[in-house]
Amino acid sequence: MKLQHRLVCSVLGALALLSVAVITPSVSSTAVAAPAWAPASTAAIHPGVQTFTNGAQCTANFVFTQGTQVFIGQAAHCSGTGASTDTDGCIAQSLPVGTPVEVTGASQPGVMVYNSWITMQGLHEADADTCAYNDLAIIELNAADYGKVNPSIPHWGGPTGINTTGVAAGNLVYSYGNSELRLGLSQLSPKTGVSLGDDGNGWSHGVTTVSPGIPGDSGSAFVDASGRALGVLSTLELAPAPASNNAGDISRELAYLQLHSSFTSLELALGTTAFNPNQLPLGL
């Protein structure tokens, strides 16, 4: 039996752990380019920047667009208001949609415009896997900051698209996170790892990385060996592999969002730099 604990956002350096599980739709999202991205080498806002929701620190995953609007993702539990044992997104409490979120590199706070926990509760979602692993929030950036955004994942490049088929055990995966608990050591941000296989009907991807995700890395992007967006870091696994992590499936999370919110055409933004897995994380 697997034991899981959700990686709760770091609040001024405090460690906390939460547990989690999975869901089930499919996705037909096609990644599209957004207007006039900043150069990847100088962009202040990109996957992997820190986000702060009422003081709780997490890590942004992917950049998204809908029309001319630009968004960045974080984990839904980053706005949670309950105890670390509140692990069911269908009953766990969250700050409301409309909550301001500070995004590192932005001149103005963004606004949380979608939260899967809140959406599931409004729909009276009953599927246990959905309630446990649908862990995505969307932050709309202020238009004044659009010119500072690039969707490329630092160090690795990409994303090149969306993985809708999952990953087999042993496949390589890549991530980037910079929790404030690392005290600004950006060399530890790039992570390379190995898939432990899919679980929960494809809604959960077990991963083990050279530098495990820690609290504050919550929400980090994972991509597969082709650079396709795979998942959102949510949990720390206690078994079968201690210090491994779980990433909720981004294709299913996006499918749920598109079906049950006004963001029916929200799209993943492709990276402007080529995906390059043939390099070691800087921390090795």
Query: Does some domain include residue 281?
Result: no
- Looking at residue 53, what is its pLDDT? 97
Nearest alpha carbon to residue 107 among 67, 69, 76, 149: 149
- Looking at residue 199, what is its pLDDT? 87
* pLDDT tier at 12, thresholds 50, 70, 90: very low
Whether residue 57 has pLDDT greater than 70? yes
Query: Does some domain include residue 283?
Result: no
Q: Which residue has the higher pLDDT, 35 or 275?
A: 275
Query: Does some domain include residue 63?
Result: yes
In the chain, the number of structural domains is 1
Element (H, E) at 61: none
* pLDDT tier at 208, thresholds 50, 70, 90: confident
Q: Across residues 45-64, what is the average pLDDT?
A: 95
Three-state DSSP state, 11? strand
Q: Which residue has the higher pLDDT, 238 or 227?
A: 227
Query: Does some domain include residue 275?
Result: no
Three-state DSSP state, 216? coil
Q: What is the CATH number of the domain that holds 57?
A: 2.40.10.120
* pLDDT tier at 238, thresholds 50, 70, 90: very low
- Residue 59: domain span: 4-268
Query: Does some domain include residue 284?
Result: no
Report whether 32 contacts 81 (CB < 8 A): no
Query: Does some domain include residue 282?
Result: no
Query: Does some domain include residue 116?
Result: yes
